[in-house]
A and B are shown apart, each in its own frame.
Chain A
Amino acid sequence: MSRLDTTVRPSRSGTGKAARRRPGVGKCVSVALLVIGAVGMIAPFLWMFTTSLRDAGHAYDLPPQWLPTEWDWSNYAGAVSGPVPILRNMLNSAVIAIAVSIGMIITAPMAGYAFAKLDFPGKNSIFVGLLSSLMVPAQVTIIPLFLLMRTFGLLDNPLSLILPGITGALGVFLLRQFFLGLPQEIIDAARMDGANAWQTYRLIALPLAKNAVSTLGVITFLGSWNAYFAPSIFLNSTDTATLPLGLVLMLGPYGAGNVAQVMAATTIAIAPALIVFLVAQRWIIASLTQSAVKG
């Protein structure tokens, strides 16, 4: 409790009595605090981008330049033609992330639908078992998985990351939640019209889950694109490395790499997250307006 007390005191002075007496002041203080926080969140990315456009010799010039003074893209060319095959690494990351996402948006909605809308013996215990796997940290299973991949000759092979990634409890849970909210009458009506279970799923239920499936696809893609732990253990050559591994290699021990090029490569690496972010924000707004309309 004391934790919450300390947390809240600043907001009290910002939004508390002062805010009620004179609404303007409290709000100004809170906006100021929020601006400081937001600047802290964005500044490192801004520095990354600015540095990526600088001549390598001036990358560490102080005082720091926050806005690009020149638009020199040569670090990007340097980054992709350096000793670490960044483009190759990016392709590896993309192949794995796309394969994993496609697998997940096929397997998770099917299982989620089954757990939500179909009756079969053992359903609940299977679901509980699956859910409890969310409590298992990757660090516990990594050693047996490493041995498994080694036995099947999959080390240093993208399949070692794709195969474990195409199914997962989180996706099943998300889609089950969605399908539970789907009115049973829709399913029953399709069955009455003579659709079999597969047709009911494929033609009726799945199209309605479009948004939930897209969200799952995006989350899965990003999770795979950002992954470091398992790739760092299963992959051990620069040609099979994913982009996060490639960037760490490029940085070198103790940050000795060419910092302007590293920042150029990092900028490229962050681009998908930025795109996803812009798209996902739009969905958030859409779902907000939708619920507002429903009232």
Chain B
Amino acid sequence: MTTTTETQSPAARQQGAAGPGAPGRTSRLSAVKRQDALTGYAFTAPTIIGFVIFVLGPLIAAFYLSLTKYNILTAPKFVGFDNYVRMFRDERLATTYGNTVLYVGAAVVLINAFALLFAVLINQRLPKGLTYVFRSAYFFPYLVALVYVSIIWQALFQKDTGIMNYYIAGLGGEKIDWLNSPEFSKLSVIIVDTWRNVGFSMLIFVAALQEVPKDMVEAARMDGANEWQVFRRIVVPMISQATFFNITITIIGAFQIYESIIVLTRGGPGDASRSVVMYIAEVAFNKFDMGYASAIAVTLFIIIMLVTLLQFRLRKSWVNNE
């Protein structure tokens, strides 16, 4: 039954396309085909309209605005690449981009390192209930809004009343000004970002670890490989797909870091912990310098696009090819 349908239908469809006027079964199929096409357009129409109005159109508009001077009160004035040239002289942009790159680097290293560590630990043969509890605990912060977890953490980070300093003092350390010192304000942002995102990356690693063929690992052990060699030579290459996915999403996520900083440090002291997205929002919606803000946003878009494309490129030469 199935085989006849399978063999018949492509041939019949071709006929339908070739001769729309052909009688009987063929014309019925061509009517079906036409109906399919119409339905296809109808079904995708809402999504396509939404995409054009809310993504594609604004994206093109952002490129256009980046070439203008526009304060929303008077019409945009075309200024060529002035906004892009201006970026090179903007020290605040250099600072905020520098901070953002630091957040990205920290996210890539810390989130993935902890995620892989916990994934390897959780992937052992532990009692089922225990695995479930651990997985749940690590994943839960990821489901909670970054704003909410940041609200909790800013209380924990308070210099005189916060728990972090209480325990640090208990261990004999100095009280740290987590939220108001130039160095530690950045570290606070990094801690919250790592803490919240580690669970998601861990789940990706766990899924990948479970795909590693057990017999391959066993065979390597039979051949005298120690655990480290097994991990380095078999497990790491086998999970490189997941590693790439995780690295890409941590880079993209960290480039967009925003609300945790607003809650924790408000970007301060000065611009010490301000991210580039905060700077874009400030230039656009406090100073109403829409053209310049768009130009900065376009650079962010290009960076994120390049990172994504680069990851795909590298992946080809890297993955499963050790």
* A107: interface (CB < 8 Å): yes
Closest 8 CB pairs of A and B: A167-B50, A120-B40, A226-B145, A144-B58, A16-B227, A144-B61, A141-B58, A197-B39
Q: Mark A183-207, 1 if CB is under 8 A from B, else 0.
A: 0110011010000111001000000
Q: When chains A and B are docked, how far (Å) is the Cα of A111 from the Cα of B280?
A: 34
Could you tell me the distance between the alpha carbons of A273 and B50 in the complex, rounded to whole angstroms? 27
Residue of B nearest to A48 (CB): B152
Q: Is the CB of A6 within 8 A of B113?
A: yes
Q: Report yes or no: A41 in contact with B138, Cβ–Cβ below 8 A.
A: yes
- Per the bound structure, the CA–CA distance linking A130 and B227 in Å amounts to 44
Q: Does B301 interact with chain A (Cβ within 8 Å)? A: yes
Among residues of B, the one whose C-beta sits closest to the C-beta of A111 is B47
- A150 vs chain B, min Cβ distance (A): 8
CB <8 Å contact, A119 and B37: yes
Q: A80 interface residue, CB < 8 Å from B?
A: no
Q: Is the CB of B158 within 8 A of A113?
A: no
**Hey, which chain A residues are within 8 Å of B112, CB to CB?**
3, 7
For A245, the closest partner residue in chain B by CB is B147
Q: Is the CB of A137 within 8 A of B301?
A: yes
Bitwise, A246-261 to B at CB < 8 A (1) or not (0) is 0110010111000100
Interface digits, B32-75 against A, CB 8 Å rule (1 contact, 0 not)? 11011111110110111111011111110110010000001000
A277 within 8 A of B: yes
Whether A44 contacts B49 by the Cβ 8 Å rule is no
The answer to whether A247 touches B117 (Cβ under 8 A) is no
Interface string of B279-305 (1 = CB under 8 A from A): 011001100001001100110110011
Instruction: Count how many chain B residues have C-beta atoms less than 8 Å from C-beta atoms of the other chain.
Output: 105
Size bin of chain A's contact surface: 35 or more
Q: Which of A144, A147, A244 contacts B147 (CB 8 A)?
A: A244
Is A135 engaged at the interface, CB distance under 8 Å to the other chain? Answer: yes
Q: Is A38 an interface residue (CB 8 A)?
A: yes
Residue in A38, A120, A146, A184 whose CB lies within 8 Å of B137: A38
Total A-B pairs in contact (CB under 8 Å)?
Answer: 306
Stretch at the interface among A26-34, A70-78, A81-89, A208-216: A26-34
**A15: contacting residue among B121, B153, B252, B259, CB under 8 A:** B121
Task: Output the least CB separation between B39 and chain A (Å).
Answer: 4
Query: Smallest Cβ distance from A111 to chain B, in angstroms?
Result: 4
Tell me which of B80-88, B128-136, B181-189, B211-219 binds A: B128-136
Q: Name 9 extra pairs, CB < 8 A, besides A30-B121, A41-B138, A262-B151.
A: A11-B121, A30-B124, A140-B301, A141-B59, A164-B53, A167-B49, A244-B148, A247-B147, A277-B140
Chain A residues contacting B132 (CB-CB under 8 Å) are 281, 285
B222 within 8 A of A: no
Chain A: minimal CB distance from B16 (Å) = 11
**A-side contacts of B44, CB under 8 Å:** 110-111, 114-115, 126
| Cβ contact within 8 Å between B51 and A129 | yes
With both beta carbons as reference points, the residue of chain A lying nearest to B1 in the complex is identified as A185
Question: In the complex, are the beta carbons of B36 and A63 less than 8 A apart?
Answer: no
Is the CB of A270 closer than 8 A to any CB of chain B? Answer: yes
Query: Given A47-B156, A188-B9, A229-B258, A139–B300 Cβ distance below 8 Å?
Result: yes
| Chain A proximity of B292: nearest CB distance (Å) | 10
Provide the residues of chain B in CB contact with A110, threshold 8 Å.
43-44, 46-47
Interface residues of B (CB under 8 A from A): 2, 5-6, 9, 32-33, 35-41, 43-44, 46-51, 53-59, 61-62, 65, 72, 108-109, 112-114, 116-118, 120-122, 124, 126, 130, 132-134, 136-141, 143-149, 151-156, 158, 161, 163, 166, 179, 195, 199, 226-228, 231-232, 236, 243, 252, 255-256, 258-259, 262-263, 266, 277, 280-281, 284-285, 290, 293-294, 297-298, 300-301, 304-305, 308
| Cα separation A222 to B156 with both chains bound (whole Å) | 25
- Once the chains bind, are A16 and B226 in contact (CB under 8 Å)? yes
Contact sample, A vs B, 24 pairs, CB 8 Å cutoff: A8-B231, A8-B232, A16-B226, A31-B121, A34-B121, A37-B138, A38-B133, A64-B163, A107-B47, A111-B44, A114-B41, A129-B56, A133-B56, A136-B301, A137-B256, A140-B300, A141-B55, A144-B62, A172-B47, A247-B147, A255-B158, A273-B144, A277-B139, A281-B132
Q: By the criterion CB–CB under 8 Å, are B255 and A137 in contact?
A: yes
Known contacts A12-B228, A42-B140, A130-B47, A228 near B134 by CB under 8 Å: no
**What 0/1 pattern do residues 32 to 57 of A give for CB contact below 8 A with B?**
01100110111011011001000000
Asked if A4 contacts B116 (CB within 8 A), the reply is yes
**Does A283 belong to the interface (CB within 8 Å)?**
no
Residues of A within 8 A of B138 (CB): 37-38, 41
Residues from chain A with Cβ under 8 Å of B51 in the complex: 129-130, 133, 167, 169
Residue of B nearest to A1 (CB): B236
Known interface pairs A44-B152, A119-B40, A270-B148. Does A136 touch B47 (Cβ–Cβ under 8 Å)? no
